[in-house]
Amino acid sequence: MTRVDPGRDKINFYGSLNPLTGQEIVMRSKVMNSEVTALYLEQVLDSVPEVPILLLWDRGPWHFGLPVSNVLDANPRLQTMLFPTASPDLNPQEHVWKEARKAVSHNHLTDRLPDLADRFERHLCQATFNSSFLDKYGYNYVRPIFN
C-alpha cells in the first residue's frame, strides 16, 4: 500500500516482482483483504502460465484467509513462503515500491489522487526493476543444476 496524499483517500496496490526479468505484476484495489488477494493470485497465475511459482510474502493480514487458501489449494504450482516478521529489507518488492514512489511521486506535483495512481501503476507496468535478491542468496550459483 502506498499513501499518496494527506487526506483520507487511498489507493492500494498489489505487486510481485519477477527477480529474473525485473518485470512487475500489478493490481490496483480500493481495499486489501483475503478476497482481493485471491483475485490477485489468479492474476499472477494467468500472467505466468504453466511454470511453478514461489511467491515470497510479508505477513500482511490480507495474505491469509479462506479465499487465499482456496486459490492455493486449487493451484499447486503456486507456493508461498513467508518472510520473517518485521523484515522489509529482505523483500525485493519493498525496493520496487520505494523506487516507484521516487520516480512518480517524490518532487512531483499531481493534484488528483486518481491521476497519481494512474502514473504509479503505469510506471510499475512499464519499468524494469533490478534486484540483487537472487545473487544475494546464491540462486545464480545453483541455477545451472536445474537447467
Q: What pLDDT shows up at residue 25? A: 96
Cβ-count burial of 15 within 10 angstroms (0-12 exposed, 13-18 middle, 19+ buried)?
buried
Domain that holds residue 102: 12-146
For 79-110, write each residue's pLDDT tens digit: 999 988 888 888 888 888 999 999 988 777 77
Domains of the chain: total: 1
d(CA 52, CA 65): 22
Cβ-count burial of 13 within 10 angstroms (0-12 exposed, 13-18 middle, 19+ buried)?
buried
For 25-53, write each residue's pLDDT tens digit: 999 999 999 999 999 999 999 999 999 99
* Neighbour tally for 128: CB within 10 Å: 10
In a domain, 1, yes or no: no
Give the dihedral sign, CA 18/22/27/28: positive
In a domain, 4, yes or no: no
Q: What is the mean pLDDT of residues 133-144?
A: 66
In a domain, 137, yes or no: yes
Rg (CA), the chain: 16
On whether the pTM is more than 0.85, the answer is no
What are the CA-CA distances from residue 47 to residues 16, 18, 54, 128, 129 (Å)? 11, 11, 14, 16, 17
d(CA 34, CA 21): 27
In a domain, 17, yes or no: yes
In a domain, 139, yes or no: yes
CATH number at 69 reads 3.30.420.10
* Neighbour tally for 104: CB within 10 Å: 21
Please state at what angle helix 113-126 crosses helix 92-104, rounded to 10 degrees: 120
In a domain, 2, yes or no: no
In a domain, 129, yes or no: yes
In a domain, 48, yes or no: yes
